Amino acid sequence: MNIMRTKLLCMLLTLCVLLTSCDSASSDSGATTTNPNPDPNGEKTIVIAVPSADGYLKQVAAQFEDLHPNIHFEIQEFIPLPKPESSDVVISMSGLGMEKYVQSVTTQVIAGKGADLIFMNNLPQDKFVEKNLLVNLYDLMEKDKSIDKSKYYNNILQASQQGDGLYAIPLSFSVGMVAGNTNLMEQANIKLDQDKPWTWGQFKDIGKQIKEQGDSLGFTNFPPELLLNDYLEESYPQLVQGGKANFDSDMFRSMMQEIKSMYDDGILSSEFTQDYDKGVFSLQDISSAQQVLMTPMKSKYYNKPTVNDTLQGLPFKVYNSLGINSSSKVQLEAWEFIKYLLSDEVQTMPDFAGLPVNKQAADKLFDDALHQLANGMLDSSSELLPDTETAKQRIEDVKKFMEQAGARNYVDNKVYMIVREEFATFMNGQKSAKDVSKLIQNRVTTYLNE
């Protein structure tokens, strides 16, 4: 039960990431907002747009207001989080709710209005940059002598660029990797090098080897849409280039066929099981120090399989990213708040979500996790927890992965929903790869031209 509880916790955490961890001082559910600053020399209001809100941003904003009495925050929430006892949670967390956020914020910003600070998760950042709707944050960094860029994981910042500019700064991130069950790997005579990349094509060969050994699986609870998302995130720069779709291509059709073959051949299964020990591997998006320590004792971290072997850097996902509206009249004040969000103090707060982009903050959180382990303070069963030396080694492995991360996993949410819907008809045999790729090409092209 403890292992299952941990898995479910990770799944819920991933969902929260997609909807952004923020907070709200007000709920306007999408009303058009311009910045209400009557006196440029007096009090100033910073409007922040978020999908859904919890207590974290409210606390940080209040702290910043205490430090800067002339600053006031208005936090605009588009998908109010339901109360725990409410039955509206599914509606609030649905794709329809996120689509409302995307459409509302995009419409406002294109009209030269909208919030000053925008949580960019799930927004079409390419479109925003193309239309010059966001400030290049590197310009603000260059003018700000108080900021020390060496304090941050610059590999994460660089991989979040568009062209030579940084238009949405990541506050936190997760690192994609694979946890291998060392006992099952030994039984199946599987040898992997922690420092070497490997591809899904290589996994397919290993999966056949696993299948021949008995009833183990390469991965458990791994439906096709999850693997599709993995392929899309890595290949998105090739599938959508310069606002042009490239789904009607041999590359994309090969991707679909490779995914389908792994399920047709029984290497992967879409069926749900509570027997997690059947899986030789499990995908891990490491987003906290505690998560590293609560991975089962018999596990070891490896690189995540990639679509091809040309990927530059290990894959990572941005948890929360912020952009400044180029129409904002309080850009400097918004930048000061971003710097505060990147500070040691804020990035080590108890409710902080994701791995800090601040290196010192990350080190402190890992040290705190080791202290909690040594003093029996982690909420987990003893069979999940490693000994101190194993814990230290795991943390060193994850820190190495954090330094090597350089391939940002990203796909436009609307594009993913289109591909997922059409891909299902290929998986169930209703349509051919050629027909599906053409349908996706037409629908994505229409969306990109909107």
CATH number for the domain spanning 414: value is 3.40.190.10
Name the residue range of residue 60's domain: 9-172+318-356
Question: Is residue 351 one of the residues assigned to a domain?
Answer: yes
What's the distance, Cα to Cα, between the start and end of the chain in Å? Answer: 48
Regarding beta strands 169-181 and 279-286, do their DSSP bridges make them parallel or antiparallel, or are they unpaired?
A: antiparallel
Residues 25 and 166 both lie in one domain: yes
pLDDT confidence of residue 90? 42
382 against 17, higher pLDDT: 382
Average pLDDT over residues 47-62: 89
Residues 121 and 207 both lie in one domain: no
User: How many residues can be counted in the chain?
Assistant: 450
In the chain, what percentage of residues exceed pLDDT 70? 86
Question: Is residue 377 one of the residues assigned to a domain?
Answer: no
- Dmax (CA) for the chain in angstroms is 73
Residues 235 and 203 both lie in one domain: yes
Residues 24 and 134 both lie in one domain: yes
Residues 40 and 106 both lie in one domain: yes
The Cα-based distances of 329 to 35, 39, 84, 143, 189 in angstroms read 7, 11, 38, 18, 62
Residues 263 and 152 both lie in one domain: no
Neighbours of 389 (CB within 10 A): 8
Question: Is residue 403 one of the residues assigned to a domain?
Answer: no
pTM of the entire structure?
0.83
Residues 99 and 155 both lie in one domain: yes
Q: How many domains does the chain have?
A: 2
Regarding beta strands 44-50 and 117-119, do their DSSP bridges make them parallel or antiparallel, or are they unpaired?
A: parallel
Evaluate if residue 67 carries a pLDDT over 90. Answer: yes
Ramachandran angles phi, psi of 38, nearest 5°: -70, -30
Computed over every residue of the chain, the mean pLDDT equals 85
Residues 222 and 297 both lie in one domain: yes
Evaluate if residue 112 carries a pLDDT over 80. Answer: yes
| Pair of tokens at residue 411 | 């796909």
pLDDT confidence of residue 4? 38
Evaluate if residue 79 carries a pLDDT over 90. Answer: no
Residue 314: partners with Cβ closer than 8 Å, 6 or more residues away: 175, 176, 177, 303, 304, 401, 404, 405, 406, 407
Question: Is residue 392 one of the residues assigned to a domain?
Answer: no
Question: Is residue 146 one of the residues assigned to a domain?
Answer: yes
Evaluate if residue 93 carries a pLDDT over 80. Answer: no
Please tell me the distance from the alpha carbon of residue 441 to that of residue 428, in angstroms, as a whole number. Answer: 20
- Of 294, 329, 356, which residue sits at a domain end? 356
> Are 366 and 399 within 8 A, CB to CB?
yes
Residues 283 and 430 both lie in one domain: yes
Q: Which of 335, 340, 230, 212 is nearest to 266 (CA)?
A: 212
Residues 278 and 140 both lie in one domain: no
Residues 191 and 129 both lie in one domain: no
In 215-297, where does DSSP find H-type helix? 224-239, 250-264, 289-293
The Cα-based distances of 420 to 266, 291, 349 in angstroms read 21, 29, 37
Residues 289 and 426 both lie in one domain: yes
> Are 194 and 178 within 8 A, CB to CB?
no
Question: Is residue 113 one of the residues assigned to a domain?
Answer: yes
Q: Of the segments 41-45, 221-225, 342-346, 369-373, which one has the largest average pLDDT value? A: 342-346
Question: Is residue 404 one of the residues assigned to a domain?
Answer: no
Please tell me the distance from the alpha carbon of residue 397 to that of residue 301, in angstroms, as a whole number. Answer: 7
| Pair of tokens at residue 279 | 């899986």
